[in-house]
Structure 1
Amino acid sequence: MKAFCAVRTRRIAAGIFLGLCAASASAQSGYPSRPIRLVVPWPPGQATDLSARLVAHKLSESLGQPLVVDNRPGAGGVIGSDAVAKSAPDGYTLLAGSSGPISINPIVQKVPYDPEQAFAPVSLIATVPYVLVANPAFPAAGIREFIASARANPDKYTFASSGTGATGHLVAEFFNSMAGIRATHVPYKGSVPAITDLLNGNVTYAFETLAATAGHVKSGRLKAYGISSARRNDALPEVAPVHESAELPGFEVVAWIGYLAPAGTPLQTRARLAAEVRKAVQAGDLRERYAALGMDPVSSSPEDLGALLKREHERYAAIVKKANIRID
């Protein structure tokens, strides 16, 4: 009798488990059944906001439910990111994540979340290359001459960034380290004043986004020495990658933008979203808009994005440690 009861108990438990699995699968198969909130931790019009909205529009069409953009700017993207970290992991809250608040800020300052523990990766949606630019008065004709001049004059030259710990700052520090350059960092409150001083010849060089520099390069107001991505970009096809023209193998760095979800969001849900992103970034109209914004349309699986985030954290941690960068 005891054996019978034990078997019966196991069968009941198995039945309950299978029922729960079936209910979960049924719920996921109907996903999404209501609007999805997409938190953008930046103000409208910023690069992350623009790319996130373009992809969200495509996903709203393919999923049959709207992705509602919720701009939560502040503290360099930390406020909005933290709001998502504290949200329910049900697939109905997403974060438009990017290099700054996810890969860099947690290394250079205290933030209320651990990005590896707080978020579950969904998919990349864009990458943003940086361009090494200088005032046209700088005498170097090419990047090798640029490096030679900087090496021969340690601490003579200055480089601008949109702020201490900004992605452009770390890209420049990475370049300086690999090229053997010693130069003085001049931080600004944003890219606009940094580029303005560069145009006026008050600083020597900078790594700024393709979108922010392409127009000035084409007009002759800035001189481009190289692009930080692995390949040339159609916006400035004559500008070669730094790793190629300067013979700096391994110097391939871009800012990333992607969708993340709160930790614990089911992989099945994230994989569904990633599949829709993959289709979205292949659309001709989206690719045209991206090109105008100086971005490259990309996608990834949740697993591949997770691996990228790990590599980015390790690389930026090494750069920050070597350059002794800290924001109090």
Structure 2
Amino acid sequence: MQDIRRPTMKSPHSRPGARALTRSIVLAGLFSLGLAQSQAAETDYPRQPVSIIVPFAPGGSLDATARVIAEKLRDLLGQPVLVVNRPGAGSAVGARYVAQAKPDGYTLFIASGSAFGFLNLIVPNFEYQLKDYAPLGGVAVYTSLFATNASVQAKTLPELVKLSRERPGGLSFCTTGVSGLNHLQLEMFKGLVKAKTGTALNVIHVPYNGVAPALTALKAGEVQACALPYSTIVRNFEGNGIHNIAVQRHERLKAMPQVGTTGEQGYAEMDDNEQLVTLSAPAGTPAPVIAKLESALQTTMKDPEIVKKLNDLDVQPTFVGSAEARKWLEKDVTKFSKVIKAAGLAVQQ
């Protein structure tokens, strides 16, 4: 008998083209599901507590500022907002922690100034730069100043420059730490003096670990001059051991109207040295999350109670949006990167 076999019927999914099509449909479905879940997470943000990382120990002005801001953000976001201190290596420990965090809006970074944008130049093995952070906005401004011991016969910057050259051995000039912003401001001043007069400022840098020991040393006459952040303590010591001779800003401080600006004394380049206090998230944080946090910060800074609390901390409350904050930081990073390199402070990575 003739062997009659039916032709084998292949499943349409067994054909190569069909299999590829099926895979594409499945992958597209999974992608759409993942995208939908991601968008839902962004829309529902926040669904858990948010942490603000402070790169210094508790008790300082930045820590206090963070706690005031966190209090209001908690009410606006409907979730606990925790202030977590991660000090060490200047601000590098906290800055690294945030740069490495998941970019989901639950780990934020508060910084006074742009130092976290150039830590890669001054901290060994620190690889992160400003591009690794997403600024959310600025909430306050810190002002720095130059001060002398009350016995020093120099009441202006030009007089201080002149005295440094006349005094045998020069002047001892303190800051709040090696490679900190006050140190960089001193190095910037030294560079400007040399450029404008052709002769170096004759000073010996004496770094202290923070504001309190630097101010104590200045008041006691252990050093003749100092670059310091403005505070009520500094203001109250005016005429009581120290003399404030210049504020690094465009306008005089209302609290110390008798103290001239750096620009009024021939060093206008230093008027831009005010430090913007910013909050940032890790780079890659979704745009809707950044927008929600930026809006919350703006609302926070419209609250009269928050403004009063920050004024009481001797910071100048403000609000600077995300885009403007990034421009401010980029300008500062460019400026101080040049100062670091010119002063020979850059480390080999």
Query: TM tier, shorter chain?
Result: 0.7 to 0.9
- Superposition CA RMSD, Å: 3.0
Q: Structure 1 residue 9: deviation in Å?
A: 10
Structure 2 residue runs of 5 or longer lacking an equivalent are 1-17, 195-200
Match of 1:216 among 224, 237, 253: 237
* Secondary structure class of the residue paired with 2:237: helix
Change (3 A) 1:101 1:78: farther
Change (3 A) 1:322 1:62: same
* Amino acid paired to 1:322: A
Q: Does 1:96 align with 2:110?
A: yes
- Percent identity over paired residues: 26
* Amino acid paired to 1:60: R
* Amino acid paired to 1:156: G
Q: Structure 1 residue 128: deviation in Å?
A: 1.0
* Amino acid paired to 1:35: P
More off after superposition, 161-170 vs 9-18: 9-18
Q: Structure 1 residue 205: deviation in Å?
A: 0.8
Change (3 A) 1:103 1:19: closer
More off after superposition, 195-204 vs 96-105: 96-105
- Please identify runs of 4+ aligned residues in structure 1 that moved more than 4 A: 5-23, 151-155
**Aligned match of 2:268:** 249
Q: Does 1:123 align with 2:142?
A: no
* Amino acid paired to 2:107: T
More off after superposition, 294-303 vs 196-205: 294-303
Q: Structure 1 residue 170: deviation in Å?
A: 0.8
Match of 2:175 among 161, 174, 198: 161
More off after superposition, 43-52 vs 183-192: 183-192
CA distance in 2 between counterparts of 1:13 and 1:104 reads 42
Q: Structure 1 residue 169: deviation in Å?
A: 0.9
* Secondary structure class of the residue paired with 1:282: coil
- Give the total of aligned pairs: 325
CA distance in 2 between counterparts of 1:326 and 1:83 reads 22
Match of 2:279 among 246, 254, 259: 259
**Aligned match of 1:143:** 157
Structure 1 residue runs of 5 or longer lacking an equivalent are none
Q: Structure 1 residue 214: deviation in Å?
A: 1.6
Contact 1:235 1:291 in 2 (8 A): no
CA distance in 2 between counterparts of 1:147 and 1:48 reads 32
Q: Structure 1 residue 89: deviation in Å?
A: 0.8
Contact 1:100 1:166 in 2 (8 A): no
**Aligned match of 2:72:** 58
CA distance in 2 between counterparts of 1:104 and 1:233 reads 28
Change (3 A) 1:228 1:127: same
Q: Does 1:319 align with 2:339?
A: yes
CA distance in 1 between counterparts of 2:81 and 2:262 reads 38
Q: Structure 1 residue 190: deviation in Å?
A: 2.6
Greater Cα radius of gyration, structure 1 or 2 = 2
Change (3 A) 1:103 1:233: farther
Aligned residue runs from structure 1 range 1-328, under 5 A: 22-99=36-113, 102-150=116-164, 156-180=170-194, 181-211=201-231, 212-217=233-238, 219-243=239-263, 245-251=264-270, 252-326=272-346
TM-score calculated relative to the size of structure 2 = 0.82
